[in-house]
Structure 1
Amino acid sequence: MYLFQRIEEAAFKQNDARRTIGEFILEHRDQLPELSMDEIAKRTFTSKPTLVRFAKYFDYSGWTEFMYAFTHEVANYNENAYEDVDPNFPFSAEDDSLQIIEQLVTLKIQSIKDTVSHIAVEDLNHAAELIQKAENIVIYGNSPNHYYGELFKRNLLSIQKKAFMSNAGENGLISCSLNEKDCAVILSYSGNNPDENPTSNVKILKRSGVPIISITSGGKNYLRDYSDVVLNISSKERLYSKIANFATQESVLFLLDSLFAKIYSLNYEDNKKNKIANAKVLESKKRQTTHKDLFEPF
């Protein structure tokens, strides 16, 4: 999770000076390099020691180190920001239906492009190899990631990989049943709370030697520190101030599709043969069409 997202989270959850300072920093992020510590303290009705405590809350030694990290993150964020569309509010109340559609198309395309720019091929290959050799693959994720995980599970089942979606009430039991021959896939945008699902399963999984593949946001977080492989979600959305998870959803689905495609390619011909054979057995009587481009004789 990026620093600006951690600040947003603190400003949302806390009801003290951290909210006041956090909201000011997020609102004036582009002007911060021009403001002195005294000016920021004055404009937030706080003090220099309070600003230092704010910085230490995010594990920085002091205000100077915190400001250096934040301003550099903002510069990098602006350099790689989505063009022509705001990932948090891609359309306005004045936009008509066609404008809304065009903005969403632009957002989703740029989300995929940003995701691709953060994919390390060696990480994708490593993740695919872990799943390929695993006896059981268990996928963890809260809503809406749970739904994306279900699609990934279905794809894996279609090539005869034993995949399961962990249910919230049984996460602990399922995690305890796994071992080093299995594999866990954890979907978490923030990946930052070791006491809440799905990251609460990490300690159990690590104790049992279970390989962990995490799909999470960029920046520092708990999940990244304990995963064997990390695939990066496009992380330009705010945690709370947005219409919906349009960009994140597209990014997660693309990563899962890319991972499945790589797994499929590791045993391409057998997977192709088995997938078609299974489809003929399971779906031939259910799916019928008169469209000549879709019709297949069985």
Structure 2
Amino acid sequence: MYLFQRIEEAAFKQKDARRTIGEFILENRDQLQDLSMDEIAKRTFTSKPTLVRFAKYFDYSGWKEFMYAFTHEVAYYDENAYDDVDPNSPFSEEDDSLQIVEHLMTLKMQSIKDTVSHITVEDMNRAAELINQADNVVIYGTSPNFYYGELFKRNLLTIQKKAFMSKSGENGLISNSLTNQDCAVIISYSGNNPDENPTSNVKLLKRSGVPIISITSGGKNYLRDYSDVVLNISSKEKLYSKIANFATQESVLFLLDILFAKIYSLDYEVNKKNKIANAKVLESNKRQTTLKDLSEQF
């Protein structure tokens, strides 16, 4: 999770000076480099020692180091921003239906392009190999990531790879039952909060030697520190002040689709036969079409 998202999280959850300072930083991010520590303390009605404590809350040694990291992150974010569309508010109340369609199309295309720019072949290959070799694949995620994981699980089942969703209330039991012959896929945008689901499962999984593939946002977070492989979500959205998870959803689904495609390709002909065999048994009498181009005979 990027620093600006961690600041937003603190400003949203905390009720002390961290909220005041966090809100000021986020609202004045482009002017911060021109403001002295004294000026920021005065405008936030705090003090220089309070600003130092704020920086240390995010694991920086002091205010100077914190400001250096934040201003450089802002510069990187602006340089790599989506073209002509705000991922948090891709349309306005004045937009008509066609404009909304165009804005969302642009946003989703930009999200995929940004996702591709953060993919490394080595990580994708490693993740696919871990899943391909695993006896069982367990997928963790809270809503809406749970639903994206369900689609990935279904794809794996079509090629006869044992895959399960870890359900709320059973996470601990499931995690404790896995071994180093299995594999865990954890989907979490923030990747923080080690005491909350799904990241609360990390300690149990590591204790049993279960390989962990994480799908999470860029920047520093708890989950990526303990994962064997990390696949990066396009991370331009704010945590709270956004219309919906348009960009994140597209990024997660795209990563899962690529991962499945790579797994499929590792044993292409066998997986193709399994897929067709499953379709014949489970779907042949249910799916009918009058369109010649869509019909198949096996």
Q: Give the distance between the partners of 1:118 and 1:169, measured in 2 at CA.
A: 34
TM-score by length of 1: 0.99
Q: Determine the structure 2 residue equivalent to 1:271.
A: 271
Q: Give the distance between the partners of 1:128 and 1:258, measured in 2 at CA.
A: 10
Supply the AA of the counterpart residue of 1:144: P
Q: Determine the structure 1 residue equivalent to 2:110.
A: 110
Mean CA deviation greater in 248-257 or 36-45: 36-45
Q: Give the distance between the partners of 2:225 and 2:52, measured in 1 at CA.
A: 26
| CA drift at 1:218 | 0.4
Q: Determine the structure 2 residue equivalent to 1:153.
A: 153
Q: Give the distance between the partners of 2:293 and 2:14, measured in 1 at CA.
A: 58
Supply the AA of the counterpart residue of 1:203: K
Q: Aligned Cα RMSD in Å?
A: 0.6
| CA drift at 1:19 | 0.7
TM-score by length of 2: 0.99
Q: Determine the structure 2 residue equivalent to 1:226.
A: 226
Q: Does 2:213 match 1:213?
A: yes
Q: Give the distance between the partners of 1:214 and 1:70, measured in 2 at CA.
A: 25
Q: Give the distance between the partners of 1:56 and 1:273, measured in 2 at CA.
A: 56
Q: Determine the structure 2 residue equivalent to 1:236.
A: 236
1:114-143 deviations in Å (ceiling 9; x for gaps): 000000110000000000000000000000
Q: Does 2:245 match 1:245?
A: yes
1:41-91 deviations in Å (ceiling 9; x for gaps): 111111111111111111111100000000000000001110100000000
What SS is found at the alignment partner of 2:296? coil
Q: Determine the structure 2 residue equivalent to 1:120.
A: 120
| CA drift at 1:278 | 1.6
Q: Determine the structure 2 residue equivalent to 1:27.
A: 27
What SS is found at the alignment partner of 2:213? strand
Q: Give the distance between the partners of 2:212 and 2:165, measured in 1 at CA.
A: 15
| CA drift at 1:281 | 1.7
Q: Give the distance between the partners of 1:246 and 1:293, measured in 2 at CA.
A: 33
1:21-52 deviations in Å (ceiling 9; x for gaps): 10110011111111111111111111111111
Q: Give the distance between the partners of 1:121 and 1:138, measured in 2 at CA.
A: 23
Supply the AA of the counterpart residue of 1:37: M
What SS is found at the alignment partner of 1:168? coil
1:223-275 deviations in Å (ceiling 9; x for gaps): 00000000000000000000000000000000000000000000001111111
Q: Give the distance between the partners of 1:262 and 1:239, measured in 2 at CA.
A: 30
Q: Determine the structure 1 residue equivalent to 2:44.
A: 44
| CA drift at 1:297 | 2.2
Supply the AA of the counterpart residue of 1:251: S
Q: Give the distance between the partners of 1:297 and 1:162, measured in 2 at CA.
A: 28
Mean CA deviation greater in 83-92 or 43-52: 43-52
Q: Give the distance between the partners of 1:194 and 1:274, measured in 2 at CA.
A: 38
Q: Give the distance between the partners of 1:229 and 1:79, measured in 2 at CA.
A: 27
Q: Give the distance between the partners of 2:132 and 2:119, measured in 1 at CA.
A: 19
Matches within 5 A, 1:49-198: 49-198=49-198
Q: Give the distance between the partners of 1:236 and 1:31, measured in 2 at CA.
A: 20
Supply the AA of the counterpart residue of 2:9: E
State, as a whole percentage, how many aligned pairs show the same letter: 87
Poorly superposed stretches of 4+, deviation over 3 Å: none
Supply the AA of the counterpart residue of 2:86: D
Gaps of 5+ in 2: none
Q: Give the distance between the partners of 2:115 and 2:30, measured in 1 at CA.
A: 25
